[in-house]
Amino acid sequence: MKKEQKIQIIDSLTEEINASNHFYLTDISEMNAEDTSALRRACFEKDIKLVVVKNTLLKIALEKAEGEFEGLDNVLKGATSLMLTETGNLPAKLIKEFRKEHDKPILKAAYVEESLYIGDNELEALTTIKSKEELIGDIVALLQSPIKNVVSSLESGKNILAGVVKTLSEKE
C-alpha cells in the first residue's frame, strides 16, 4: 500500500472516530464468510458501522483523534475490527446476541460515554450502560413524578373543597 493511501485511510478513520461518540474494537478473525456476512447485516440493521482495520493505521488514527485513547495500544494486536455507533450499549447488545449462536466477535476494548473498557469481560457491563438520551429520560420522569402527585392532590382537593362548600351552603 502506498504512503498516500495509508494517509487517506488514517484521515478517514480519524474523521469517523471523531464523528462517532462510541466505538468498539473487536476480533472477528477466523469467522467464515457466512457468519461475517450475518454480523455485517446485523450491524447494518442496528446502524453500526463495521470496519476491518490494520492495527498500525488505527493506532495512528487514534493518536490523531480527539479523545483519550492511551489504554488501547495494548489491545491492538491480531485482527481488529472497529464498530462505530451513536448509541453506546448497542454494539455490546449485538455482540452478546450474536454470540448465542457463534463464538465471535470477541470484545477487545470499547470507548463508551468517554470511558475505556478493556477486555471481553466488560461486555456484560457495557450492555447495561444507559445512553445519554435514556438517562435524560429517566431524570425527566423522576422530576415529573412529584409534580404529577402535587397536581393530582390539588385536583382531588378541589373536589373535596367544592363538596364542603356545597354542604355548608345547604345547611344555611
0.85 exceeded by the pTM?
Answer: no
Through-space distance between the first and last CA atoms of the chain, rounded to whole angstroms = 100
User: Can you tell me the distance from the alpha carbon of 61 to that of 84, in angstroms, rounded to the nearest whole number?
Assistant: 14
The beta strand positions in the chain, using DSSP E, are 22-27, 49-53, 80-85, 106-112, 115-118
- 3-129: CATH topology is Alpha-Beta Plaits (3.30.70)
Res 144: pLDDT:
73
Res 105: pLDDT:
87
Res 162: pLDDT:
66
Domain boundaries, the chain: 3-129, 130-171
> If the chain, 172 residues long, is cut into consecutive pieces of 10 residues, what is the mean pLDDT of each piece?
83 85 86 88 89 87 82 82 86 88 86 83 81 79 72 66 69 64
Res 161: pLDDT:
63
